[in-house]
Structures are given as structure tokens and as C-alpha cells.
Amino acid sequence: MAQLPEEHFMDTAQRLDSDSIIANGSGHEQYLTFMLAGEEYGVDILRVQEIKGWDSATRIPNTPDYVQGVINLRGTIVPIIDLRMRFNLEKLEYGPTTVVVVLKVESENKHRTMGIVVDGVSDVYSISADELKSAPEFGDDVNAEFVKGLATIDEKMVIILNIDKLLNSRELNVLDSAANER
Amino acid sequence: MSIDLSQFKQTFIEESLEGLDIMESTLLNLDVGEADLEAINTIFRAAHSIKGGSGTFGFNDIASFTHVLETLLDQTRAGERDVTAPAIELLLASVDCLREMINALQDEGATYDEEQVASVQEKLEIMLNGDKESNTESPAAAGSTAASEKNPTTTSGWLIKFAPHPDMLRTGNDPVLMFRELEGLGSLAVDVDTKVLPGFENLLAEDAYLSWEIRLTADVAKDQVEEIFSWVDDECELEITALAPAGDTAEDEVVVEPEPQPVNTDVKATPEKKAAPAATKKVAKKRSTSTEATSIRVGTDKVDALINLVGELVITQSMLSQLGEEFDMGKIEKLRNGLAQLERNTREMQENVLRIRMLPISFSFNRFPRLVHDLTQKMGKKVDLKMSGEQTELDKTVMEKIGDPLVHLVRNALDHGIESPEERIAAGKDPVGTLLLNAYHKGGNIIIEISDDGAGINKQRVLDKAVQSGIINSPDDISDDAQVFDLIFAAGFSTADVVSDVSGRGVGMDVVKKNIKALGGAIEITSQEGKGSTFSIRLPLTLAILDGQLVRVGEEVYIIPLISIVESLQIDKKSVNRLAGCSEVYRLRDDYISIIRLYSLFGAKPDSVDLEKGLLVVVEGDGQKVGLFVDDLLGQQQVVIKSLESNFKQVDGVSGATILGDGTVALIMDIGGLIDLSNTLQRDSSDGAVA
């Protein structure tokens, strides 16, 4: 079961190599994309520390339910956030392609390492700044804050996420207290 | 060739601060009227190296300040001055000034109190010149020669013949720096002698071939010149003669007591035959760690031990991998042995690595002689400070954090504990009070005790004050002594009748307790009225590792710090009672303790909600006992504490996490936080019920 995702990221890693050779223009940034409920999301590839298969996490009591818990990443305690639950999407049983993307997050001048659970990694794209369109107003929906922009690749829309905003500790605290009040 | 000195600046600062510590502690041990030559030499050497260093680095204000200090010390060393109480006070004040100046160097942009420094420097000069003036003003009348200087200052300058030995440069001494310093004294005329300079092909870049003849035109004493060369005096030929024969250059002249001068210090020169100036030795610096520094100095023995262990680990590893390559079941015994060896190596390694962070508690205790000295002077009390167990080792982080609470407790003991000499005599005690600082290891903890033989804690007064300041409603609320003493730690509590600048504001003791608790420690008071009090602080040796009890709740494993566990027991249903329908209490012998169901607090799925099927772990936190209901006890082990906050955030009721043998993460419970959490939840739910 754990074999399949490994192959999957070997695949990605190879593509990642070839892409980095192709990408040479200034203003082009590379994004790692992953699938979540049929949509493709992207994060800045320089923030991706590693991609690993899903393994059980230790639950942390009294935290919002999208905090899956903490795992041991070579001696460091790393919290894992389920992105489907974070975005209020329908819950999906973890399967063979379910992976954890470990990201380096900057918040309040502090570096944190956090993992996000996604349905599966997809591709690496080079996207220039002007290809990135700002997202339309979503109204009061807090989720809009996490979106850095939208890009169109092969007629498909890719949602580029601002992970610093998404995985901000303050954000977690706010939601935590909101969850407690309920 | 210029050397970038800035890289040595930090070393200079650290060494100077150490030097100041040495000066301070030696000064405090000096007895008035009795010049302990060894002690004075120690002080002198420290001052001397600070002066040398600051001169080299171009910190002229420090250098000139230290120079005055040094001259004074030199005279004391030579027996020309008595060690008097005002002199010691003044020297201590100068140590403070220097420390401030050096600290100002360290924090860029920080400034020191220049006025303070100037006034202390002025006092030093007055003390110094008190003699000098008398000499210069009345040399003929009194028929005396200078007492304070080895040579009269009436010379117009010095002829210095300076011929370094060939290997002087290799010791890191640079003549340029010395010349630069000489230049600071007056104008120079230098002739260089290149006679021994070999041809270019024979020239060794690291050898010194040149020698110099320097004419220094300045009104300075010979020892000021000697001073500059003091670092190299065994590495060169040095001859210093007076330029103009205005003064008598004889070394051992008879000194006559100068006329007393009306100066505001009562230091006088003693009529003594001058001791030959002791050769200034290079200061053998004590290698120790400054407590505030972020770097840590580790003894080479500790590092060597680690390297040995790493070597063994590598051997074990290669043995195991060799075994793994051609493994069959016949070699299982060998594998077991190998693994046992690996375990032993790892454990030793762990112990040794932790030992690197351990420092003797003397680093924390060292500041107390000065504190006690200053405070007792201010308060007019007589206190004898005794310390024992200074070599007890403690984690560096713990030590840094325990410093302030200790200072607070010592201040309190001096202010509230020990009585004034009159009161002590009236009570039939020795007028000199005793303050004892003691440290020792006990189990996995370090115990620090602060005991005084003062008045002790007046329980009635504590109770009255507590009622007065609204901490308790009536004295009847409190039954035993421990609870009375505990009131002292309540915020806003003070028994001092008058608020002094030393203590009595009622802030502090609560902070002391909070700090100690934050370190995972506890504080206890024992006191006997009229006999004295003892504050004993119990601290974990290290913050990195703790002994934990693994408990299971359903599928989840949690760790309870062993130190907070009182006992574990099977629940007898008959002893369980419900209080007002919601919270459960358990009758444990004569006590009632509330039961916290861990699964409901942490939202876990338990094996059973039936109290009889699980176990009750009685724990103590914040001086409160509670019973934690868990499914099972698993085992005890030492766990390495990992921070949850570094990548996540603080979680209520959890102090950290650790990694278990199977690689999974387990949370370590914070008992105090757990009790708070349970209380909050209970309050919320009962509020909800009312609403």
C-alpha cells in the first residue's frame, strides 16, 4: 500500500528535474500541484520540503478536526493538516495515493514545518507572474485569503495557494478558539 | 600586516567579565587591614589584563580607567597602602563601572553612565593623588622621595632599549602595538638596529631580527613604560633608563612617610621598604562560562569522552551491518549481543551529551557574596554567608532561569529573615546572622536550599495580612503550616510593614513560584519562629529528558511525568461519590480527590467508561491532587522532550511530545494545565446548565 505513492513521487521527482532545466525565464516560478476533490491546487515548489506517504498521526486533543495530529519526521514533531477538512470539503478515506506534502511555512518571522494531506500530487508547472490572475471576490468567504491567484494551464484552472496565510499559527489559534466556543 | 582584531573582541569581553568576577570575589574575601599578597596579586592581574586588552583593542576609556585602578592596586601590592574598608568599597564600585563599560561594548549602541564612571575615576585619582600630591609638594621639606611611584616623576623621559628574542613574534606579540601604546604616553624618537638582519634568502618571516632604541619624552613613571612591555619581558632584552638624570632611579630607596593630606579617603601610604616589583606574569585565566553567553565552553575531557563514544558507536554499527549482510538464524545470539552493545553505547552517549550542558551551580552562587555584602551594608545587618555544594551540576538552561528567583529569595532572607544585630542580641543569638546556600542532588532532581537563622515566619502575621489583603476570607480557612506558608506565594502578599527598596512590595514571591513551576520544579518552606526559615527548591536536572509513565486511553498513548505521580490504584466503586450530580470524587484514605476522565477531557475513545475496568492514577500538580482515569498503565521509560510549539502551538494540558520506540509520537501531559483545563470545562458545562 505504501509502495504506490512512492512510485508516484519518483515520477514527480523526475519530472521536477526536467522542468527545472526547461524553466529559465525570469519571473517564472515553479509550482507543485496536487489534487483535492477534483480541483488542482498549487504551492510554491521552493516551500516544499518533501512528499511522503500517509502514515498515521498522533491526535492532539482539543484542536480543530482538520488538525490530523502530529507525526515524527526524523525526530521533529510536525503537525499534519487535512486540507479537505480545512476547506470544508467532503471527507475522503485515505487511500494509496493519499500523500502528505511537507511544507516550510513562514509566520511571524518564524519557520515552521507543517504537513498537508492531499488526495495526490499532480505535476510541476512553471508559471510567470502575469499568467497568474487574481481570484475574483469570494465575498465573506475566509478561504479567499489563502488564494494567491489562479492560473490556466492546458485549459485547466490551477488554484495557487498562499501557504503562509493558510498555515499561519494565528489562523490556527483563531479557528481553535472558534472551535472551542462551539 | 594588519590583523582584524574584531574577531577577538568577543573573547576580550568574555575574558574581561570573568576577570571582573574574579576581582569582585577576591575583593569580597579581603580582610580589612590585612594585605593578603596573593589575593591582591590576583586582583591586580585581572585589572592588568583588562587594561592590556582594552588598550590593544583601542577601548581607551576602559584602558584609562583601569590604569588608575591598576596603579592603586600596584601600590597596595607593594605594601604601600593598607587595605581599608573605603578602599575596598571604592574598588568594588570600580568593578561595577568596568562591568558596565564592558557590557556597553557588547550591546552595540548601549551606553554606560559616564558620570558614574567619571566620579568613580575621580575618587580613585583622589585616593591615588592623596599621596602623590604630598610627595610632589613637599619632597624637600619632608626630605622624602616619592612614595607612590617607584621612580620620581621628574624625569623628562626614558631611553628604552628593546631587543626582542627571535621567537617573540611567534607568541603573538606585535611590537607595533607596543609602540602605539608608547606613543600614547608621549612623543617618541625611535632608532632601529638592523645589524642582525640576515640576507633575504636566509630571512625567516616569523623571526624577529630588529631591535630598537626608543627615546620617550614624557612625564611618566618607569613602571608605566615597563607595563607596556610586561607581556614580553621574558621574550626580549629590555633596558629602561631615565633620559635626564633629574630623578633618582635607584630601585630600592627608603621611602619616608608623606605628610598626611586632607583627602576624603583615609588611605595612607605605609612607611615600608619597597618590595621589588614582582614580574608581571601572564594571567593564567580561569576558563569558565559566563552565564549569559549563548556559547558554552566545554571541558576537553567531556569532548574527548564523546569522541571515544562515537568511535565505539561506529565500531558497533559496522559490526552490526556486517552481521546483517550474511545473516542466518545461527547468528541470532551475536545479533542480540550487538544490539545490547548498541543500546549501551547509545545510553552512554546520551548521558555524555547531556553532561555537556551541565554546569556547576557555583556559576549561579557566585553572585551572592557581593549581593549579601551590599545589602547587609545598606541594611546595617551582619550576615555570614556560607555556601556548600557549589560543584553540584545543573543544566545550563535551568541555571539561567533559576538565577533571578534565587536572588529574590536571598534578598528576602536578608530583609525579612535575619534580624538586626540589636534584635539578635536581645533574642540571645549571635549578632552575626548566618545565611546558608546549599545545593545537592537527590534522585533525578537538584535541591537548592536557602536557610537563614533569623526570626522565622510569624504565622499569625501571615494569616492577618492574608485576610487584610483579601487573599483568604478568614484565618479558619487555613489549617496546617504548609498552607500558611503557601500564602506567601500568593500574588499581592507582603508582610513587610514598610516598603523598602529591597523588598516588601508583594510582587515577587508569586513570580518566584511561577518561574520555578515553569521549570518543572517546586518550592517548599519550613520555618520555625525565632529559629529561622528554609526555602528549598526542587528542580529537574535537565529540561531535555524526563522519566515518564506511559498510560493508554483506548488506542492512544500518553505520558505522565513520573515526578507528578503519587500512586496508581484500582478503583473501588464504593469510594466513588458524585458531587452535585456532575463531578466525581474518590475517597482516598482520608482525602477526597476529584476524578478526571482523561478520555472525555481529550476526546478519545476509551476501552470502557466503567471506572472499575480502568485504573486511577493519582497525580499532583499545583499542590492539588487529582485522579486521572485511564484504561491501562503501560510502562515507564525516559523520554526526550520535543517541543510542540516549534512547529505547531501550545496545547492546553500538554507540555510537549516525545517519540516512542516504534517511531510514533506520544504527548506528554502537563498535570497543572490538565487540572486547569478540566476545571474550565467543568465550569463551562455547569454555566451552560444554569443558563
For A138-173, the pLDDT digits (tens) are 655 556 678 888 888 888 888 888 888 877 755 565
Answer yes or no: do B352 and B364 share one domain: no
Answer yes or no: do B426 and B521 share one domain: yes
Answer yes or no: do B535 and B451 share one domain: yes
Q: Which residues contact B300 (CB under 8 A, 6 or more apart)?
A: none
Residue B549: predicted pLDDT: 92
Assess A60–B contact: CB distance below 8 Å, yes or no.
yes
| SS3 call for A120 | strand
pLDDT interval class at B522 (50, 70, 90):
confident
Assess A53–B contact: CB distance below 8 Å, yes or no.
no
Answer yes or no: do B365 and B403 share one domain: yes
Q: Among B643, B646, B667, select the one facing A60 at the smallest CB separation.
A: B667
pLDDT interval class at B581 (50, 70, 90):
low
* Interchain pair A70, B644: CB under 8 A: yes
Q: Among B556, B603, B642, select the one facing A77 at the smallest CB separation.
A: B642
Alpha-carbon gap, residue B309 to B351, rounded angstroms = 11
Among A100-104, A116-120, B138-142, the minimum mean pLDDT is found in B138-142
Interface with A, mutate which of B648, B662, B664, B687 (most A CBs under 10 A): B648
Residue numbers in B near A56 (CB within 8 A): 664
Q: Could you say which of B136, B166, B182 is where a domain stops?
A: B136
Residue numbers in A near B663 (CB within 8 A): 72
Q: Among B647, B653, B666, select the one facing A112 at the smallest CB separation.
A: B647
Chain A CA closest to residue B657? A77
Sheet containing B236-242: order of strands: B187-193, B211-217, B157-164, B236-242
- The total number of structural domains in chain A stands at 1
Cell of A163: 501557504
Interface with B, mutate which of A66, A72, A172 (most B CBs under 10 A): A72
Structural domain including A129 reads 3-181
Answer yes or no: do B161 and B127 share one domain: no
Answer yes or no: do B619 and B668 share one domain: yes
Residue numbers in B near A77 (CB within 8 A): 642-644, 646-648, 657, 659, 665
Answer yes or no: do B555 and B668 share one domain: yes
pLDDT tens string B613-653: 888 999 987 678 889 999 999 988 888 888 887 788 778 88
Write down the number of H helices and E strands in chain B: 19, 22
- Dihedral class, residue B589 (left if φ above 0, else alpha if ψ from -120 to 50, else beta): left
Q: Could you say which of B356, B374, B400 is where a domain stops?
A: B356
Answer yes or no: do B437 and B456 share one domain: yes
Answer yes or no: do B393 and B470 share one domain: yes
Answer yes or no: do B563 and B661 share one domain: yes
Assess whether B70 carries a catalytic annotation.
yes
CATH number at residue A44: 2.40.50.180
Neighbour tally for B608: CB within 10 Å: 11
- The total number of structural domains in chain B stands at 5
CB B540 within 8 Å of CB B519: yes
Cell of B689: 446548565
Residue B666: predicted pLDDT: 92
Question: Residue B338: inside a domain, yes or no?
Answer: yes
Question: Residue B247: inside a domain, yes or no?
Answer: no
Question: Residue B143: inside a domain, yes or no?
Answer: no
* Interchain pair A72, B665: CB under 8 A: yes
Assess whether B100 carries a catalytic annotation.
no
pTM higher than the cut 0.80: no
Assess A49–B contact: CB distance below 8 Å, yes or no.
no
Q: Is the pLDDT of residue A3 over 60?
A: no
Residue B285: predicted pLDDT: 35
Of B18, B70, B235, B449, which residue is the catalytic one?
B70
Question: Residue B149: inside a domain, yes or no?
Answer: no
Residue numbers in B near A113 (CB within 8 A): 647
Q: How far is A19 from chain B (nearest CA, A)?
A: 31
Assess A127–B contact: CB distance below 8 Å, yes or no.
no
Position with higher pLDDT, B468 vs A81: A81
CATH number at residue B227: 3.30.70
B198 burial (CB, 10 Å; 0-12 / 13-18 / 19+) is exposed
Residue numbers in A near B654 (CB within 8 A): 60-61
Residue B137: predicted pLDDT: 39
Answer yes or no: do B76 and B185 share one domain: no
Answer yes or no: do B568 and B671 share one domain: yes
CATH number at residue B463: 3.30.565.10
Q: Among A70, A113, A173, select the one facing B657 at the smallest CB separation.
A: A70
pLDDT interval class at B662 (50, 70, 90):
confident
Structural domain including B329 reads 300-356
Question: Residue B265: inside a domain, yes or no?
Answer: no
Q: Could you say which of B540, B556, B581 is where a domain stops?
A: B540
Assess whether B612 carries a catalytic annotation.
no
Alpha-carbon gap, residue B25 to B668, rounded angstroms = 43
Assess A113–B contact: CB distance below 8 Å, yes or no.
yes
* Interchain pair A62, B602: CB under 8 A: yes
